[in-house]
Structure 1
Amino acid sequence: MPILTRIRKWTLGLSLVLAAPVLAFADVTPTVAAAADLKFALEEVNTQFKADTGKEIRLVFGSSGNFFRQISEGAPFQLYLSADEGYVQQLNTAGKTVDEGTLYALGRIVLMVPHGSTLKADVQLKDLRAALADGRIKKFAIANPEHAPYGLRAEEALKHAGLWDAVKDKLVLGENVVQAAQFATSGNAQGGIIAYSLALAPDVSKLGEYALIPAEWHEPLRQRMVLLKGADETTQAFYRYVQEPAARNIMRKYGFVLPNEEKAQ
């Protein structure tokens, strides 16, 4: 299958999931709001959860900031997995949650470039610096820093490298980090900064190459989840399951640093 066709199929499939209206769900299956970087990892966790327990939840993916706003306004989610624990803490202060929740992962970011790009992926972003200077970079993708934690960390890393001023006018902003990954791998941009967990997913990794950006270049991506008030037994079971070995093994496979394993970062 041609690469362009695969990109279109991947983009269409993710767009349908990410654009699903929250209020359109009329059945009793509990709905879970999950940060977009979890797209592939959490779907795999959910498949295993259903196989192991016979229970079913519905996953909706998007930017953590947008979900924070929706939950604050009363959206009927039962569990929220955020890429930034600050949003969970604010919801807890506002009385929207059962408790303070729990840290479930630490995320990482990568420079991702599509096959055939004039940009090379390297850890220190040396070729990105050169490409910005010599005009090879026309467009560069990140998630919107205003409401997507992975976009904010991308901005921090670019500032740390001294590249923000040179790249900011060339940015194409994804509504969330999955959309940023679509832009970064489609060939419409020369590359982008996306979640490590997405770069490791087969549907994405086959479209390009990546380099893991040093963790010290940005604030930690401390990802916290929390049960929202009114969460049913199935949702509570899924919340517990995400913390169990089967789910942790899946999360680890997608590059997440797990609680109590921070030294592995």
Structure 2
Amino acid sequence: MPHFLSRLLMILFGTIAVSGVHAQETPTIAAASDLKFALEEVAAKFKAETHQEVRLNFGSSGNFTRQLQQGAPFEMFMSADEGFVFQLADAGKTMDRGTLYAEGRIVLFVPRGSPVRADGQLDDVRAAIVDGRMQKFAIANPEHAPYGRAAEQALRNRGLWDVIKPKLVLGENVSQAAQFATSGASQGGIFAYSLALAPAVSSLGSFVLIPAEWHQPLRQRMVLMNNATPVAKEFYRYVQMPAARVIFRKFGFILPGEAS
């Protein structure tokens, strides 16, 4: 853990140092953590094609909403739950009510060496709770992370919430939940399909999609904030273009106008 923290601090300070140089012309985008791998690729392609940059800040949609309500200087918000965008729009913080850019899915992930099997019905999760194989299970915090809320809904659907609750390890966001689920600190977890599809994550274990009907749809909406500059507006348009849609599709997102 100390090594992880030191590496995280180096990355964090490196980002601050680079962003400080371009602070005036580089807009910062607040993006839900499930977008990490997909949006980094979209932003790189945007830079290659337009020679303009955006700075990506990943976290939980609920936390970003609170920060934006308090005046955080993000120029664009990509939420994992459209309800948060509507809250900001109703508060007069946004240019409009935004646009739907994707719908997400969740997976059950078990790390390599876990005694629990990845099955889409969560039957072995149930058995592992009973026989003691399941000691820790990771999800994002349902209080402010949409993917955590979807995980809770899926577990409730299977009648597992009350028995698994004492074993939960809660990530601050879905990306942190994925770290907990893949690190071996838990016997498994539920997190975003888009993260599980990234080679850096999929190589650490096995996963299976959880039926979409077990939870409320993860309708992901983005919006420009009132302080959006031209580069942020251009990136907002770019995210809706075919080149970006190809990348989102690769990471398992269901796109507007396409069937699941």
Query: CA separation in 2, counterparts of 1:209 and 1:117?
Result: 10
The answer to whether residue 100 in structure 2 is matched with residue 100 in structure 1 is no
Structure 2 residue aligned with 1:223, among 203, 220, 223?
220
Distance 1:10 1:205, change over 3 A: farther
Query: What TM-score results when the alignment is normalised by the length of structure 1?
Result: 0.92
Structure 2 residue aligned with 1:61, among 58, 62, 67?
58
Distance 1:131 1:40, change over 3 A: same
Query: CA separation in 1, counterparts of 2:165 and 2:33?
Result: 23
Alignment of 1:1-265 (within 5 A): 12-13=7-8, 16=11, 25=20, 27-28=23-24, 29-261=26-258, 263=259, 265=260
The residue identity in structure 2 corresponding to 1:114 is P
Percent identical across equivalent pairs?
64
Distance 1:11 1:256, change over 3 A: farther
Q: Cα offset for 1:230? A: 1.7
The residue identity in structure 1 corresponding to 2:104 is G
Q: RMSD of aligned C-alpha atoms? A: 2.2
Spell out, residue by residue over 1:96-143, the C-alpha distance to the aligned partner (whole angstroms, 9 max, x if none). 000010000000000011000001101101110110111111100000
Q: Report if the CA contact (8 A) 1:17-1:61 is conserved.
A: no
Distance 1:108 1:169, change over 3 A: same
The residue identity in structure 2 corresponding to 1:173 is L
Query: CA separation in 2, counterparts of 1:184 and 1:15?
Result: 23
SS of corresponding position for 1:193: strand
Q: Cα offset for 1:11? A: 9.9
Q: Cα offset for 1:13? A: 4.8
Spell out, residue by residue over 1:23-74, the C-alpha distance to the aligned partner (whole angstroms, 9 max, x if none). x857221100000000000000000000011111100000000000000000
Distance 1:250 1:15, change over 3 A: farther
- Which ranges in structure 1 are unaligned for 5 or more consecutive residues? none
Query: CA separation in 2, counterparts of 1:198 and 1:161?
Result: 23
Distance 1:249 1:11, change over 3 A: farther
Query: CA separation in 2, counterparts of 1:69 and 1:40?
Result: 24
Query: CA separation in 1, counterparts of 2:7 and 2:154?
Result: 30
Query: CA separation in 2, counterparts of 1:10 and 1:201?
Result: 22
Distance 1:173 1:15, change over 3 A: farther
The residue identity in structure 2 corresponding to 1:212 is L
The count of residues paired between Structure 1 and Structure 2 equals: 255
The residue identity in structure 2 corresponding to 1:59 is L
Distance 1:37 1:12, change over 3 A: farther
Query: CA separation in 2, counterparts of 1:51 and 1:98?
Result: 27
Distance 1:67 1:198, change over 3 A: same
Q: Cα offset for 1:12? A: 4.1
Query: CA separation in 1, counterparts of 2:122 and 2:115?
Result: 14
